[in-house]
Structure 1
Amino acid sequence: MPFIGFGHKDQIVPKKDIGIFYYQNTLLDSPESGSWKCIHSCALFVTAVHCTYTFPNYKRTTFGDSIDVASMKLLKEIYEQSVDKNVISSPLGVLILLALYASGSEGKTRDEIMALLGSTDYEQFPGSYSQLSERFASMDPNYLILANKVLVSDKYTLDEGFLNTAKTYKSEVDNINFNDRKMAADVINNWSSKKTKGLIDQPVSESDIDPAAAIALLNVIFFQGHWHVPFNASKTKEQDFNVDRSTIVKKPMMHLRQSLYYREDKEMGVKMIDLPYKESKFRMVVVLPNEVDGLPDVLDKAAEKGLLENIFRMHPTTGSVILDMPKFETRTKINLNDVLSKVGVTGIFKNASSGIVKELGVMVSKALQEAYVKVDEEGATAGAFTGVVATPLSSWSRPPPSIPFKVDRPFLYVILNDDIVLFAGTYTH
């Protein structure tokens, strides 16, 4: 079973993602069944020279916390298993598909999925990801597209309960002939290209198609955001970037002087800033290790407790942040079989799930993802924040000291909507 995902497009941090799962036919000879769900897929506080702009009222939820921790676990394993340490992923796409798959599974397989999703009781859980799918699917497609699709072999029939669940996830449902590998690949690629506006147009090849597949679950998340306060391209300059303690390279560094949400955390060993997008409640959070070689340790700690605790403790600086940050573009193709096994989800690859198609049990044979992100200076003209509160500064007062934030070493970043992590990545060279 293959799964594939992407992220990308346009302006400062466009992203998109597509996920696909294929399920191989298996006899119902296993007492356990599994379920799979996958999800793929930012903010900024600005202080002008004479006024202060307030952030949207971000809301932190238990559901957001569970996505946060699961996302960091997945990112840590993807980073460790990737040869190129510049990685981008859409953990949400993986989690959505896992949640959907869990609806047709039971026993240990479902328990493993639920453990990653951060819940012990499936009966209390099903609405969370379906409601999230509905919420994101209703947003303006000019900046966010989240779409799910179920392709079932023309040899089989979807279980009625699974079909009803898929519909609550706003999933399209179609039949397909997996024996015609070229046609099946074309169907998937055309769907991905349409949903991602041509940015991810070849997520699968014929060799990715399993003729014995009974079903494929697909997910696409696409985000194109515009900085609330864009960088001035004329101020982008080549500067030193420390790949490690002995290697320095030149990178085009964007420059911004602005009041931002900021936090230092000595326990995690990081500094953090919050960069908002013009699109409501979207933001990028940059997590900069204090040490040049500190990223692996930061990922370990993030995988244990997530990032939201620190994100929701960020506060606006009284003075300006002097930000220097590299432009970058990253595309990552990920084999998720090993990644999921490392985070405790193994049953989907070994045990038959009987609640997905009527005729027989199925299991995942392959899980893949492709994601893309681009970060540069571009963006809409800066505009007023909704609910702006302006606080004039006295012309007689001494301006508060500035805070340097030079992103000149390997770092971690996430893109969120409110408290939901859509994309997570690392940049190292």
Structure 2
Amino acid sequence: MDKMIKLMVFLVVAGVTLAQEYGEDELEIEHLLRQYTRTPVDDSIDVFTMKVLKAAYESREDKNVVSSPLGLMMLLSLYERAAGPAAKEELARFLGEADAKQSSEWYKDLSVTLSELEPQQLAVAHKIAVSDKYVLDEQFAAAARAYRSELDSVDFSKPMEAAALINQWAAEKTKGLIKEPVSADSLTPDIAAALFNVIYFNGHWNVPFKAEDTKEKNFYVSRGVAVKKPMMHLRHSLYFRKSKELRARVIELPYKEKGFRMVVVLPDHVDGLPSVLKKAAQKGLLSDVSRLSPTGRDVEFDMPKFEVRTKLDFKNILSKIGVSQIFEEPAPGLVKNTPVKVSKVFQEAFIKVDEKGATASAFTGMFLVPPMAPPPREPLKLMVDHPFLYAILYRDTVVFAGTYSG
């Protein structure tokens, strides 16, 4: 290996917890009236996320997967500023704009916007750790600061101390959900720099799942094979769409936190998740999400509570979806006077969905109808009782995505 090309490590740490509380009338009205401005980069994040999720799902025996490709894309957009010409061209295509500079500016603005949200709800943070033997290029350091990145000098020749420093930062930013994403064994003295990202989300349902309504019910892991899972229950009017293209039903669960929502994509058939993933990797989810509409009647909705932790090696995944130059072409503009190339890209992500916080509240609604209104329609029944896809969005930006297969 050329001694002038030092190793660079990417780390994306993602943590997400989801709790439920009773919503308020004002929040319900605000949700119904929400207007989001969907951008071309939102579409790129959407498709990239689904491609990554499909590749991760196919590469793992455990089909319960959670990931935050958004965190990876923000790091890649920052790395693009220092990359060589072939990597720049490749990254621009995947990040969403033909003009790499325009794309990087958009991700910088997104990074700033997300970092300014209430940190108890959403925390987005970046850290650039440069070896104490090197100095960051001035232009790259300025770009990193514009992304609101923390810059630190680290002695990678002391792997125990370096790992402890990184892990302390990750644990702090994820509120203890992800404590040791980096091992001392993974750090070597020839690392020149490391880029880290953390995304932490703690959301509360706008409409409640009551803990006392959760019951053990069948979840079909495949045709004719069922296991018992604790299924949460909700009866409420929700946004819904039956997608002929995805061959799935799409339903939206809004969060109390402004702009956030979970979208659940339930395949029409028990074994339909691979097909849904294939189609989503081609077109994304936003085209269906944008066409969600109120059901006009209550929905009897059942969904499993679950907890998933996923560790992903992104090097193989990225190569499968067409991002390879970052591992082959040295970046001349990241470390001063020293070209570096990516050696490893990995992520640890966590999600927990349960009824926490839903024990002492109530939601009250009053509906007015014309005197000759027809009788209420029977509620729509939707049982999420087989493998499904889910995504958490901030406005029209996909922040987390995953699959649950029981």
Determine the structure 2 residue equivalent to 1:172. Answer: 150
Distance in 2, matches of 1:44 and 1:95, equals: 35
**Secondary structure of 2:193's partner?**
strand
Determine the structure 2 residue equivalent to 1:123. Answer: 101
CA offsets 1:115-170 (integer angstroms, 9 cap, x no match): 22122221322211111111011111111100001000111111111011101100
Determine the structure 2 residue equivalent to 1:427. Answer: 404
Contact in 2 for aligned 1:228/1:382 (Cα 8 Å): no
Distance in 1, matches of 2:245 and 2:53, equals: 20
Determine the structure 2 residue equivalent to 1:409. Answer: 386
* Counterpart code for 1:7: A
Give the superposition deviation at 1:247: 1.6
Contact in 2 for aligned 1:262/1:317 (Cα 8 Å): yes
Determine the structure 2 residue equivalent to 1:230. Answer: 208
Determine the structure 2 residue equivalent to 1:102. Answer: 80
Determine the structure 2 residue equivalent to 1:194. Answer: 172
Pairwise mapping of residues 266-281 of structure 1 onto structure 2 (< 5 A)? 266-281=244-259
- Of the three residues 392, 404, 423, the one matched with 2:368 is 392
**Secondary structure of 1:8's partner?**
strand
The change in CA–CA distance for 1:160 and 1:292 in structure 2 (over 3 A counts) is same
Give the superposition deviation at 1:7: 3.1
Determine the structure 2 residue equivalent to 1:305. Answer: 283
Give the superposition deviation at 1:323: 0.3
* Counterpart code for 1:117: L
TM-score (norm 1): 0.87
The change in CA–CA distance for 1:109 and 1:44 in structure 2 (over 3 A counts) is farther
The runs of at least 4 aligned residues of structure 1 exceeding 6 Å deviation read 43-48, 380-385
The change in CA–CA distance for 1:44 and 1:297 in structure 2 (over 3 A counts) is farther
CA offsets 1:234-282 (integer angstroms, 9 cap, x no match): 1101111110113211110000010000000112100011000000010
Give the superposition deviation at 1:384: 8.1
Distance in 2, matches of 1:56 and 1:181, equals: 48
Determine if the alignment matches structure 1 residue 71 to structure 2 residue 78: no
Give the superposition deviation at 1:404: 1.0
The change in CA–CA distance for 1:332 and 1:278 in structure 2 (over 3 A counts) is same
Distance in 2, matches of 1:312 and 1:84, equals: 31
The change in CA–CA distance for 1:365 and 1:69 in structure 2 (over 3 A counts) is same
CA offsets 1:156-194 (integer angstroms, 9 cap, x no match): 111111011101100010111111111110110011111
**Secondary structure of 2:168's partner?**
helix
Q: Which runs of 5+ in 2 are unaligned?
A: 1-7
CA offsets 1:94-116 (integer angstroms, 9 cap, x no match): 10111010000131111121222
Determine if the alignment matches structure 1 residue 334 to structure 2 residue 300: no
* 199-208 or 3-12: bigger deviation: 3-12
Q: Which runs of 5+ in 1 are unaligned?
A: 14-42
* Counterpart code for 1:398: P
Distance in 2, matches of 1:384 and 1:300, equals: 39
**Secondary structure of 1:356's partner?**
strand
Give the superposition deviation at 1:45: 11
* 104-113 or 330-339: bigger deviation: 104-113
Contact in 1 for aligned 2:13/2:196 (Cα 8 Å): no
* Counterpart code for 1:179: S
Give the superposition deviation at 1:47: 12
Distance in 1, matches of 2:159 and 2:114, equals: 31
